[in-house]
Structure 1
Amino acid sequence: MSLLKEKILQSAIRLFAEKGYQATSIQDIADDCSIAKGSIYKYYDSKEELYISILEKRQQDMIDAVEKIRERKLPSRETFLEEIAYQLEFFLNHGYYISRDYNELPPANSDKIGAVIHQLQLNMFRYYQDILIRHYGNAISEWKWDATAIFNGLIREYTFHLLFGFKPLAQKELTVFIAERMDDFVEGLAQRPPRPLLTDELMKEYSMINLEALTHTQKLRRAALMDMIESIIPDLSITNSRKKDLAEVVVMLREEFTKERPRNFLIQALLRDLSSENELRFYTSQIQPKTI
């Protein structure tokens, strides 16, 4: 993503939150970015397209963050708790991966935005199922859709009470509570195995989602972040020799990521070198090592 495109996106996120989607115009965003309105249309055909980009970016940011948790190779239980805690934190910051509050929402009659939101909900549901299967394994295989529905419901309902009911719930306590209620559900399945309610036949729409395709976007995002870093380096207020060194670091980083077994210690060292420049730190912090 180019520097200007990122600036437009961040401006839109802030203005939609402050003024509301309907009250914010493309001209407002252009003025905030100190650019001509036509510059925005080079990247986004409409305000609707811009809003859709925000939705997609938020979900991708969430997926990247969860992958980062998994890469820490913590014990299974700790990973499970951290993933739940992150979901709560994410929704408190962004609402139900749609908006921080109702003020930011676009008109409800937008078919295009509605279709995108529906797809994001499908993606999220399957992502939750992936979390549960990794933690509980075969214990829920027959009831994977029912377990996911309960897990999804717990997170959404309690987040609603935190966001809109302003209930004073401690997030750490809530995280453990949700994890233990899922434990209770799984133990109950073993003691009194019921007939699954949500079958593969009923959940065909969800089964068609390719989780590998979702995580594959991480590779594309990584490449885009490195493109951004390369575009910023020539404009840094540093010596030409340092610019040359940084450009070589990016080349080395790209090469390492293409290897079948990238050396994570080298990747981390290269990222630290790039991060020493303040202007690059925001982008390097989002580059994830490749899972081996």
Structure 2
Amino acid sequence: MSVLKEKILESAIRLFAEKGYQATSIQDIADDCSIAKGSLYKHFSSKEELYISILEKRQQDMIDAVDHIRKMQLPTKETYLEELAYQFDFYVEHGYYISRDHNELPPVNNDKIESVLNGMRRSMFLYYQDILLRRYGPGIEEWKCDATAMLSGLIREYTFHLLFGYLPIDKKRLAVFIAERMDDLMEGLAKRPVPSLLTDELMTEYSQIDLKGLFASREGRKDALIQKIASIIPDIAVPNQRKNELAEVAAMLREESAKDQPRRFLQLALLRDLESESELSFYAKQLLPLI
């Protein structure tokens, strides 16, 4: 993503939060970025597309953070607790949609935006289901959707109190509390099994979502960023010898990242070298959370 496109998104997030979606115009956002409205339209064809891009960026930020937690290779229970705690960190920072403020609500009567929001809600439901299946195993298969609905409800309700009640609840402690309540639920179902209410037949729309595809896209973004860096190097204002060095660094980073078990320390060292050049710094910083 270009520096200008990132700036436009940040401006839109702030203005949508402060004024609301309906009251914010494309001209407002362009003025805030000190650019002509036509320049903004080169990146986003409409306010609707801009709003959707913000939603998709938020979801991708969450996916990247979750993927980072999983790659820490903690014990299963610790990974479970870290992922639960991160949900509260994320929503407290970003809110349910774009901002944590009351002013920001999704646009009404917009079929395209509502379709994106519904897709994101279903993706989050499947993500919570995946958390539970990894924690408790196939033994909960019969009640996986009901258990997911309960976990989702707990997260949403406590997030509401954190966001709008400003209650001073420690998020790590909250994650442990919810994890223990889910333990109680799973134990109760094992002792007194009951038929599932949210059956696979009722939840068929969720089976059409490829959760693995969401996480797989992370690798595609990493490859695209490395390719972008490589394409910029020939045009930056440094001596040719330095350009050659940087091209070798980018090639080494691409090669290392493609390995089944890339060496993170080497990737970080290569990124630091690329980040030292101002023209490459923006893209190198975007790569950091993907390493």
Same fold (TM over 0.5): yes
Cα displacement string for residues 29-64 of structure 1 (whole angstroms, at most 9, x for unaligned residues): 212222211111112111111000000110111011
Q: Distance in 1 between matches of 2:268 and 2:124?
A: 30
Q: Residue in 2 aligned with 1:158?
A: 158
Q: Residue in 1 aligned with 2:287?
A: 284
Aligned residue pairs total 288
Q: Residue in 2 aligned with 1:181?
A: 181
- Shift in alpha-carbon separation, 1:32–1:207, aligned structure 2, 3 A: same
Letter in 2 for 1:110: N
- Shift in alpha-carbon separation, 1:226–1:102, aligned structure 2, 3 A: farther
Deviation, 1:69, is: 0.3
Q: Residue in 1 aligned with 2:199?
A: 199
Deviation, 1:205, is: 0.6
- Shift in alpha-carbon separation, 1:103–1:187, aligned structure 2, 3 A: same
Deviation, 1:94, is: 1.4
Cα displacement string for residues 126-176 of structure 1 (whole angstroms, at most 9, x for unaligned residues): 011111111111231111111111111100010011112222322222111
Q: Distance in 2 between matches of 1:140 and 1:98?
A: 34
Superposed, 1:30-109 pairs within 5 Å as 30-109=30-109
Between 32-41 and 252-261, the greater mean CA deviation after superposition: 252-261
Letter in 2 for 1:216: A
- Shift in alpha-carbon separation, 1:182–1:150, aligned structure 2, 3 A: same
Does residue 25 of the first structure (1) align with residue 64 of the second (2)?
no
Q: Distance in 2 between matches of 1:5 and 1:138?
A: 44
Q: Distance in 1 between matches of 2:219 and 2:266?
A: 18
Q: Residue in 1 aligned with 2:14?
A: 14
Letter in 1 for 2:185: F
| Cα-Cα RMSD | 2.3
Give 3-state SS (helix, strand or coil) of 1:201's partner: coil
- How high is the TM-score relative to the length of structure 1? 0.89
Q: Residue in 1 aligned with 2:139?
A: 139
Between 273-282 and 250-259, the greater mean CA deviation after superposition: 273-282
- Shift in alpha-carbon separation, 1:139–1:277, aligned structure 2, 3 A: farther
Cα displacement string for residues 165-214 of structure 1 (whole angstroms, at most 9, x for unaligned residues): 22232222211111111111111111111111111111101111111211
Deviation, 1:103, is: 1.5
Give 3-state SS (helix, strand or coil) of 1:104's partner: coil
- Runs of 5+ consecutive residues of structure 1 not aligned to the other structure: none
Letter in 2 for 1:86: Y
Q: Distance in 2 between matches of 1:201 and 1:26?
A: 44
- Shift in alpha-carbon separation, 1:236–1:286, aligned structure 2, 3 A: farther
Q: Residue in 2 aligned with 1:274?
A: 274
Contact (CA 8 Å) 1:20, 1:103: kept in 2 or not?
yes
- How high is the TM-score relative to the length of structure 2? 0.90
Give 3-state SS (helix, strand or coil) of 1:99's partner: coil
Q: Distance in 2 between matches of 1:252 and 1:282?
A: 17
Q: Residue in 2 aligned with 1:4?
A: 4
Superposed, 1:223-238 pairs within 5 Å as 223-230=223-230
Superposed, 1:91-130 pairs within 5 Å as 91-130=91-130
Between 78-87 and 23-32, the greater mean CA deviation after superposition: 23-32
Deviation, 1:259, is: 4.1
Contact (CA 8 Å) 1:225, 1:287: kept in 2 or not?
no
Give 3-state SS (helix, strand or coil) of 2:196's partner: coil
Q: Identity of aligned pairs, percent?
A: 65
Deviation, 1:265, is: 4.6
